[in-house]
A and B are shown apart, each in its own frame.
Chain A
Amino acid sequence: MTLAVESWRTELASLVGESRLVTEPEACAALAADGKVPNCVVYPPTAKQVAAVLRYAAEHDLAIIPCRNGTKLSTGNPPRRYDLALSLKDLNHVWHYEPADLTISVEPGMKLGDFQHFVGRDRLWLPLDPRGGVRASIGGIIAANAAGPLRQGFGGPRDMVLGLKIATTDGKIVKTGGRVVKNVAGYDLIKLLIGSYGTLGVIVEANFKLYPKPAERVTFTVRVGTLAIARELRRSILSSPLDALRLVLLDSTAIVLTRGTAKANEQKDAEVWVEVGGSRRVIERCERDLGQLGRGIGAPLGRLEVREAEAAWDHISNLSAWLEGVYPDVIVLKAALPIAAGEEFLSHAQQQAEGERIPAASFAQVGVGIVHFCLLQEKLIPGLEGLISRTRKAAVDLGGTLLIEHCPTQLKGRLDVWGTPGDDFEAMHKMKSAWDPKGILVPGRFVGGL
């Protein structure tokens, strides 16, 4: 049943309260997805109301995108339709917090920065440095399976979420998992929701396992002249006893960008950055070992100042948002690869960009096979699709996948941002229909148009 905009807006307002449905153009535009602006934004304050909104939307065939700050709204194919933004801003409670059990239960609208501040009092943290940094919301991090360089030491959301409550399109709230660190009762729907980009249901509560914060953290740097040397260093670090918390390979442009400037770099070499953590004695040991590994490739070991390191890692998390400010048409490609293929992929990607004379920066989490390759352009130039397709082919040939994490909307009509799905797509399709039979959640944005 299709209703006139005014009438469904009135009915929705009665579900969430007048003041919680906003139609101001500015608020709507802030949550636009690929140029599509929603008719209104609703701010339900409780999980039950989220479920009620979903049910109403399903009954009236209204397309919804759930979000918080929109730090990941640029990812995905253009939405087929988009009536209403479901803001989880007001779902911001901490329900349970047991520092001694290292567990916490929070609502999805909580920002990561607030979360870390909250548990930091007890010297605990959630070791995630996702896209969007401290502004990223808990719900968004889970929905986008957003993990940054800390994945090296701690894994991703998949290794940290203990339980979820999910509002479904039939207006129910279903629970999966629990609040204890070990639990195999029932199907693991947590994994299904992680990385589903809001296409199955809306996360209204999440239980996490927390981690003790390392006493100290230090970032060491090693200059690497070529990708072959970088590969050698990566291999020797990964086969050493050292437990890196973060391990990245930055090209010379990326190094400059981590300082928050876009000035050209006189240094032409790339660097490997290794963050380690623990007591002073442990850090000294790491420094000795890394120094030795550096000497093996003829490079001295550098060390970032604590503040400098923090700011640089923050910049890496905030990369796309920050780059967008400087290069309006920036394209961020994210390749996920077998670990051994990282440097080879980079070499392909760099050749492609050089061939088209497009300045690029690469941020590679070389210990886990994730490479962010950014094409720094101020305006779209022709020939880009070819470049991206060839880069994608290189990733696929190496056993990986390539996601166009961020790009101008014009490009999206010509390229699928996710790449080609595999032989399990039919099963994914069925999964989508089981959760969202009317197809109202984030329609058309996800893999294969789900």
Chain B
Amino acid sequence: MKSTGFFRELARIVGEEGVLWRPEDLMLYEYDALSSVRQPDAVVFPRTTEQVVQIVKVATRHNQPVVARGAGTGLSGGSVATEGGVVLGFSRMKQILEIDLENQRARVQPGVVNLDLTLAVSDDGYYFAPDPSSQKACTIGGNVAENSGGPHTLVYGVTTNHVLALEVVLPDGEVIHTGAEHWDRPGYDLTGLFVGSEGTLGIITEVTVRLSRKPEAVKTLLAIYDRIVDATRTVAAITARGITPAALEMMDGFTLRAVEEATHAGYPMDCAAVLLIELEGLKEAVEEHADEVEAVCRENQAREVRRAKSAEERDLLWKGRKNAFGAIGRISPNYYVQDGVIPRTRLPEMLEFIGSIEKKYGLRIGNIFHAGDGNLHPLIMYDSRDSEQSARVLEAAKEIMGRCVEMGGSITGEHGVGREKINLMPLIFSDDDLEMMRRIKSLFNASGRLNPGKLLPTGKMCGELRVQAGAGGVL
């Protein structure tokens, strides 16, 4: 518990109603979508950049950590205060400051909800391309910090490909502006460095994003398979035809049944896997590609290929996909989701491997992938009250991740390193690589008070995987 003087100083900046410090109020802020760690000492809700500057300065005087938080939907523990201190909640900085359609951009505060930005420009035929599954809740600031992805990043790229400029408050309270209203400002691309830096280099207080024009035509296909391997083979076969779908998702039969029971999206209950394939663009191109994709699916033994006949049908299919994690929550007390990435041609092999891990550890693993870009989301189901089972989950997760790395992949495609994968970093980066990242971190965050315990393992660490079991039993 910090001194009341500390809280009073914070309240002086944002008003009494802008600070939380009672333990019962702080409970909500002790976790994100991954895990519960510990409570922060205070949560502060600034309305302006200037208030952020003042808060950062007070935290510095009291030597307190500062952790930025959007909606808390993160999946790697990025926004939890592992060492206590001040959580900067951005729920009051949610203004869309400027929409400029001719220049295809918008300037927003970090607390703006991802989908709200799209809704604001939708009638004019534009949207914000990155679409994480949590887009109804997650914030642009959080997307920038984590460099979030989503199903449609396959063709449009992740958050970093859509951010033009940032306003950043550095740990010493200095405010800088990186990037520009256009792409080619001379100098180092600090915008590109800050995107995905998980709140460890500075606090983002304003974001200029690129808006995209909505495509003329969209076609959504659902290919249904009796063998999972046929679905995975189809993925590379589509690419080999020179077609890049806007989205290419895979769900296995187990996950599908859970999703169908929860959302009644119209998925078949008796298949081994489905691919959800979306094509976007000019009407003519989409029609041609849809026919070709359907042919590829059938060549790869799809039992049936359905096409969404209306926008409602399409929305329903996507609702099923985007609510999949929630659906799993209905059938298993706990689940652990990873987001390793592999080259997409290795999917069949990976699926087989995950099947063998299921058997080896006696666990149920649901598979739901951004298959087009090789981004896996194996969902390992367990009951946290069973400590022996929880330990097996860790072992299984470790083997899957190790295999991703062996295949030339990555430990995270879109969820971020956060706290969760901090000890996996040595699997893909050498000491020299990590040392360079530390050097860069220390340029901005020398004291380490900005989001401590995230992204970079501290000091020397062996390549051993250590995923810690938290107090709540969640990983």
Contact = CB atoms under 8 A, between A and B. Distances in A.
Contacts, number: 261
A336 B180 contact: yes
A413 interface: no
Contact of A158 (B185, B189, B285): B189
A100 B443 contact: no
Contacts of A337: 182
B432 A158 contact: no
A128 to B, nearest CB: 14
B63 interface: no
Nearest to B242: A212
A279 B146 CA distance: 38
A38 B283 CA distance: 57
Contacts of A24: none
Contact of B236 (A96, A100, A279, A425): A100
Interface stretch (B297-305, B309-317, B433-441, B462-470): B433-441
A287 to B, nearest CB: 12
B377 to A, nearest CB: 12
A66 interface: no
Contacts of B440: 187, 189, 431, 434
A103 B213 contact: no
B186 A418 contact: yes
B182 A186 contact: no
A235 B101 CA distance: 11
Interface in B164-217: 170, 174-178, 180-193, 195-197, 201, 213, 215-216
Given A100-B240, A424-B178, A427-B444, A184 B413 contact: yes
A352 interface: no
A159 interface: yes
A320 interface: no
Interface string A275-319: 000110110011000000000000000000000000000000000
A241 interface: yes
Interface stretch (B35-43, B353-361, B404-412): B404-412
Contacts of B415: 184
Interface stretch (B46-54, B152-160, B252-260, B264-272): B152-160
B102 interface: yes
B177 A422 contact: yes
A336 B413 contact: no
A379 to B, nearest CB: 28
Contacts of A192: 188-190, 192-193
A179 B343 contact: yes
B243 interface: yes
A242 B281 CA distance: 8
Given A145-B184, A401-B185, A179 B433 contact: no
Contacts of B192: 158, 188, 190-192, 194
Interface stretch (B22-30, B83-91, B221-229, B368-376): B368-376
Given A241-B215, A338-B182, A423-B177, A178 B408 contact: yes
Interface string A388-431: 00000000000111010000000000000011011111111011
A428 B190 contact: yes
Contact of A102 (B174, B239, B370, B434): B239
Given A103-B343, A175-B433, A419-B186, A340 B176 contact: no
A404 B414 CA distance: 38
A185 interface: yes
A336 B201 CA distance: 27
B158 A182 contact: yes
Contacts of A370: 182, 184
Interface in A243-300: 243, 278-279, 281-282, 285-286
Interface in A100-119: 100-103
Contact of B104 (A181, A339, A422, A424): A339
Contacts of B429: 175, 185-186
A77 B414 CA distance: 39
A400 B288 CA distance: 40
Nearest to B411: A185
B416 interface: yes
B181 A338 contact: yes
Contacts of A23: none
A180 B190 contact: no
A151 B182 CA distance: 13
Contact of A278 (B285, B432, B456): B285
Interface string A128-163: 000000000000000001000001000110110000
A221 interface: no
Range for the number of chain A residues in contact with chain B: 35 or more
B374 A182 contact: yes
A178 B428 contact: yes
Interface string B373-407: 11100000000000000000000000000000000
A158 B146 contact: no
Given A282-B282, A282-B284, A213 B408 contact: no
Contact of B187 (A99, A101, A238, A425): A425
Contacts of B284: 278-279, 281-282, 285
Interface stretch (A40-48, A82-90, A166-174, A321-329): A166-174
A241 B374 CA distance: 29
Contacts of B436: 168, 172, 174, 189
Interface string A344-376: 000000000000000000000000111000000
A192 B188 CA distance: 6
A183 B413 contact: yes
Interface string B94-131: 00000010111100000000000000000001000000
A428 B282 contact: no
A195 B146 CA distance: 23
Contacts of B288: 279, 281-282
Interface in B314-359: 341-345
Given A101-B345, A173-B432, A187-B440, A182 B375 contact: yes
Contacts of B290: none
Given A423-B177, A427-B190, A336 B184 contact: yes
Nearest to A286: B282
A270 B316 CA distance: 49
Nearest to B421: A185
A7 interface: no
B102 A180 contact: no
B430 interface: yes
Contact of B161 (A96, A158, A215, A425): A158
19 contacts: A102-B239, A103-B343, A178-B410, A185-B411, A186-B417, A186-B425, A186-B437, A195-B188, A212-B244, A241-B216, A282-B282, A336-B183, A338-B181, A340-B100, A400-B181, A421-B187, A426-B174, A432-B188, A448-B187
Interface of A: 96, 98-103, 123, 145, 151, 155-156, 158-159, 168, 172-176, 178-192, 194-196, 200, 211-213, 215, 235, 238-239, 241-243, 278-279, 281-282, 285-286, 334, 336-340, 368-370, 399-401, 403, 418-419, 421-428, 430-432, 434, 446-448
The 9 closest A-B pairs by CB, nearest first: A191-B192, A212-B242, A241-B216, A336-B184, A182-B413, A183-B410, A340-B102, A101-B343, A424-B176
